[in-house]
Structure 1
Amino acid sequence: MSDASDAAARADAFARQAAAMRSPLGAYFRRRIRNAGEVEDLVQEVFLRLTVRGTPDHADHASAYIFQIAASVLADRHRRRTVRRADEHVPLDPDLRGEQDFDPARIYAGKQALNAAAAALMTMPERTRTIFLLRRIDGLRHQAIAKQLGLSVSAVEKHMVRAIEHLMAHAGGAR
């Protein structure tokens, strides 16, 4: 049973040395990462790996072994962050997004405005509506629309002016 008691004594000595390493490990990680909130998690990861891997045979080399594991933990963290592009994430700040994005009254007003615009579009002459939709929805240039419909560029421009005036007149009446 002396082998078992020797192993227990070695494990106990290693546990004391590992506990004494908590502060130096924290300093090690604080020097190498920006987010101070992750330091304690990384220290815990080192201790987790120590429990999984077991203790080394010689407690004399425990600190070197612990810092080797710490370097491995840091490398794994860097690899994960690189793959997940963690440095490119933008935190969601509700204060920057405006008041209430999903206010029911605002949603209803937006739907009403959209329905009014659709109704106004349907009352336009067909060619004017087609030109407006090709320009504003499909993003075609006036020259491309003119070529596609067999019109002059100035005719396309005039139809666009009429379409916008028509929509503005209906929007003014809808308010």
Structure 2
Amino acid sequence: MLENYYRELVCFLNAKLGNRQVAEDVVHDAYLRVLERSSDTPIEQPRAFLYRTALNLVIDDHRRNNLRQLESLDVLDNEERYFSPSPHQSLDHSQRLELVQRALAELPRLCRDSFLLRKIDGLSHVQIAGQLGISRALVEKHIVNAMKHCRLRMRQWDARC
């Protein structure tokens, strides 16, 4: 259902932001947010919900960037020690990374490759399509399906713990 709005939302954000790569990243993050939502209540207006989520992400990013510009680099350097992960957090992070890798291994090759080329290598959808010899629309579907699959599997594995 939500996949139907992907291109439309990318075009909308591209017009607002003037950068297609950033627009695609925001849309991916918006899809993740929607897929990760913990409420069991169905979304009555999925298109409006997705747009609002994406716009909120843009606003949040804008606010963060404004705050970063106001803070001195000395303050950020001094605060870095507070953000170093503890050994427990590092272990949890590496375990979660292993689970994501397991989930990705379950996907068909083109789906997995589309996702990795986008998220790890930072290629655009057009570049991925050219490299894999598939359409851009199929790349978009593969990426969304990979995100859904990973989210579902992570929830399943988290429920077992």
TM range (shorter): 0.3 to 0.5
TM-score (norm 1): 0.44
| Greater relative CO (CA pairs within 8 A, separation 6+) | 2
TM-score (norm 2): 0.48
